[in-house]
Amino acid sequence: MNVKQVDETKITRYILRATFEDWMDFSVNDVVIVGAGPSGLSAAYYLAKSGLKTTVFERRLSFGGGIGGGAMLFHKIIIESPADEILRGIGVRLHKFEEGVYAVDSAELMAKLATAAIDAGAKIIHGVTVDDVIFRENPLRVTGVAVEWTATQMAALHVDPLFISARAVVDATGHDAEVISVASRKLPELGIAIPGEKSAYSEIAEQLTVEQTGEVAPGLYATGMAVTEIKALPRMGPIFGAMILSGKRVAEDIIAKLNVKIHNT
């Protein structure tokens, strides 16, 4: 076997060229999703599958958000119907306990959700934190995000961000609803309140989270635990059906909205 010889400078130049081609491309998007947890990855899968140009910015260097920790670090989480059908569709193996209730491996769920989103055409960028939104007036709407290296933020360096535009921005940041929080603080005219989630009541929380998923202000959408945070819903712990279904629902909302706009112009 002859291993191809590549000199160091070529490695550098190829990496820079490929990276900047990508950044030039996804500086303008149909949809930006903030957070590659279960709801963000599910949304990315459906949005990309519909043909919308979709970029996910994830603060960490990994996929899956809260999936990885499983339940108190046990490597299983619970999925209930009808989310099981979605997971079967992307090749996740389910261990059935009773009709409509399954356990899944956290590593398998993270890997296969991410693969499904990427294979559908979504771009996922790790190590980037979204710390603000872009807005326009008349009519008032969110039109993109400000991004910064997570490492820069961790080092507390004073560095200005870059800006990325999108026709729709999805907050999939989980319990902290970070994007919606910053928008509500800096743009009070959007009229977003953040009452915070309630204590656990899994039996009703799953249904409510899916039902209340959607647009929270023009151009700005919530999915996953960000929904419970802004709608004062109960938490549900290590049962993840609603996260997957919420991602699907926000994708359907955006697809419907953006398509309407396409027809109107």
Residue 24 burial (C-beta neighbours within 10 Å; 0-12, 13-18, 19+): exposed
34 binds ligand 48F (CB under 6 A): yes
Site for ligand 48F in 56-85 (CB under 6 A): 57-60, 65-67
33 binds ligand 48F (CB under 6 A): no
User: Which is closer to ligand 48F, CB of 30 or CB of 171?
Assistant: 171
Instruction: Round to whole Å and give the CA distance between 138 and 98.
Output: 53
234 binds ligand 48F (CB under 6 A): no
User: Which is closer to ligand 48F, CB of 66 or CB of 219?
Assistant: 66
8 Å CB contact between 101 and 80: yes
Q: Is 159 part of any known ligand binding site?
A: yes
Minimum distance from residue 192 beta carbon to ligand 48F (Å): 16
> Residue 65 is encoded by which pair of tokens?
């958000």
> 181-189, long-range: CB within 8 Å, 24+ apart, which pairs?
182/131, 182/132, 182/133, 183/133, 183/135, 183/142, 183/217, 183/220, 186/132, 186/133, 187/133, 187/135, 187/140, 187/217, 189/140
Q: Is 158 part of any known ligand binding site?
A: yes
8 Å CB contact between 103 and 94: yes
Instruction: Round to whole Å and give the CA distance between 201 and 91.
Output: 30
User: Which is closer to ligand 48F, CB of 215 or CB of 260?
Assistant: 215
* Choices 52-60, 104-112, 132-140, 184-192; region in contact with ligand 48F by CB under 6 A: 52-60
Count, residues near ligand 48F per rule CB under 6 A: 28
Phi and psi of 171, rounded to 5°? Answer: -85, 105
Q: Is 160 part of any known ligand binding site?
A: yes
Among 33, 35, 194, 251, binds ligand 48F (CB under 6 A): 35
38 binds ligand 48F (CB under 6 A): yes
Minimum distance from residue 175 beta carbon to ligand 48F (Å): 6
Among 106, 129, 184, 213, binds ligand 48F (CB under 6 A): 129
Helix (H, G, I), strand (E, B) or coil at 52: coil
Q: Is 263 part of any known ligand binding site?
A: no
Instruction: Round to whole Å and give the CA distance between 1 and 77.
Output: 44
**Of 147, 168, 164, which is closest to residue 218 (Cα–Cα)?**
168
Among 50, 54, 106, 173, binds ligand 48F (CB under 6 A): 173
Chain positions contacting ligand 48F, by CB under 6 A:
34-40, 57-60, 65-67, 129-130, 172-174, 178, 224-226, 235-237, 240, 243
